[in-house]
Structure 1
Amino acid sequence: MIQRIQTLYLFLAGIISGGLTFVFNLWSTPKETIFSIDLLQTASFLQKSIPVSFFLSALLSVVAIFLFKNRQLQFVIGRLNILTNLFLLGVLVYLSLTLSGEASVSEKGIGMFIPVISLVLLVFANKAIKKDEDLVKSVDRLR
């Protein structure tokens, strides 16, 4: 059902992954501020994968909301979304440690923590989906 708590978790994870990337910066230098959408114009494939991963995470969250009739597939999509966010977190940590031009001090933005918040919400959503699936299996056992 669409009014379950996992829907709220998945919706919040989708909003955070898809919407807050335009609001909060990833890092800033004295000359410029870098948002995730700005990384699409870079030459590096690794940097181009950051906004793609953010949007993929948001898309997977929204798709998982509408799979409420198929809880196993919803759970698998949630796991895939968790793996996407772990990849995104790893790439962001790698890039933050190896930023070029560190002669001028750069500040890491709050956008670096978006995958962490999304991961927590996705874990809560998968926990609620698993709880629903166990409840349905226990009721089927009684019949």
Structure 2
Amino acid sequence: MLQRIQTVYMILSILVMGALYMWFPVVEDAAKNVVIDKSEPLVLGLILAPVVLTLISIFNFKKRQHQFVLNRLSIILNFVLLGVFVYRSLKVSGETLVSEKGIGVLLPIISIVFLVLANKAIKRDEDLVKSVDRLR
């Protein structure tokens, strides 16, 4: 399980999303109105759902197709989270007090990259197994 490269990529994706939850600031505009809060149910669900799906995917290491589908779903959820971040940050009028809000938008992209790399490795393993099955 841990000796496969896709597991390492999925663990890195989980760590990135955990870092997003731990370090994501509350973004406020100049009038102290909260624009994005990590305890908001939508944002919290979109942060925790890919983590849970990726954990389930790691433990389904014998079912490569199932892993592939779970990772794809996690990628889609990361894109939705990215869309929420971009929408909310564009909705803010003027400058916010937290100018380093870009790192919150960058972390789902890094997670997506790790999940895509994991899916490539899963596909490579699946192709290898199919090629060996042809030889039998």
Structure-1-length-normalised TM-score: 0.82
Question: How big is each residue's C-alpha offset from its partner over 1:47-89, in whole Å with a ceiling of 9 and x where there is no partner?
Answer: x311211100111111111110000000000110111111111
How far residue 34 of structure 1 moved from its aligned partner, in angstroms, is 7.3
Rate the CA distance shift 1:82–1:8 in 2: closer, same or farther, 3 A.
Answer: same
CA distance in 2, matches of 1:112, 1:27: 12
Distance in 2 (alpha carbons) for counterparts of 1:130 and 1:49? 32
Correspondence list, 1:101-120, <5 A: 102-103=93-94, 105-106=95-96, 107-109=99-101, 110-120=103-113
Describe the shift of the 1:34–1:3 C-alpha distance in structure 2 as closer, same or farther (beyond 3 A).
farther
The residue that corresponds to 1:83 in the other structure is 76
Q: CA deviation at 1:37?
A: 2.6
Mapped contact 1:24–1:35 kept (Cα < 8 A): no
CA contact (8 A) 2:71 2:115 kept: yes
- The reply on whether 1:11 has 2:11 as its aligned counterpart is yes
Q: Which runs of 4+ in 1 moved over 6 A?
A: 32-35
| Deviation at residue 27 of structure 1 after TM alignment | 3.4
Structure 2, unmatched stretches of 5+, are: none
For 1:96 and 1:65, how far apart are their aligned partners in 2? Answer: 33
1:64-143 correspondence runs (5 A):
64-99=57-92, 102-103=93-94, 105-106=95-96, 107-109=99-101, 110-143=103-136
Distance 1:26 1:117, change over 3 A: farther
Amino acid at match of 1:11: I
User: Structure 1: which 5+ residue stretches go unaligned?
Assistant: 41-47
Residue 68 of structure 1: SS of its match in structure 2?
coil
Structure 1 residue 108: Cα displacement: 4.7
> TM-score, normalization: structure 2?
0.86
Distance in 1 (alpha carbons) for counterparts of 2:26 and 2:114? 20
The verdict on how the C-alpha distance between 1:139 and 1:71 changes in structure 2, with shifts beyond 3 A counting, is: same
Paired-residue identity, %:
45
Could you tell me how far 1:114 is from its partner in structure 2? 1.2
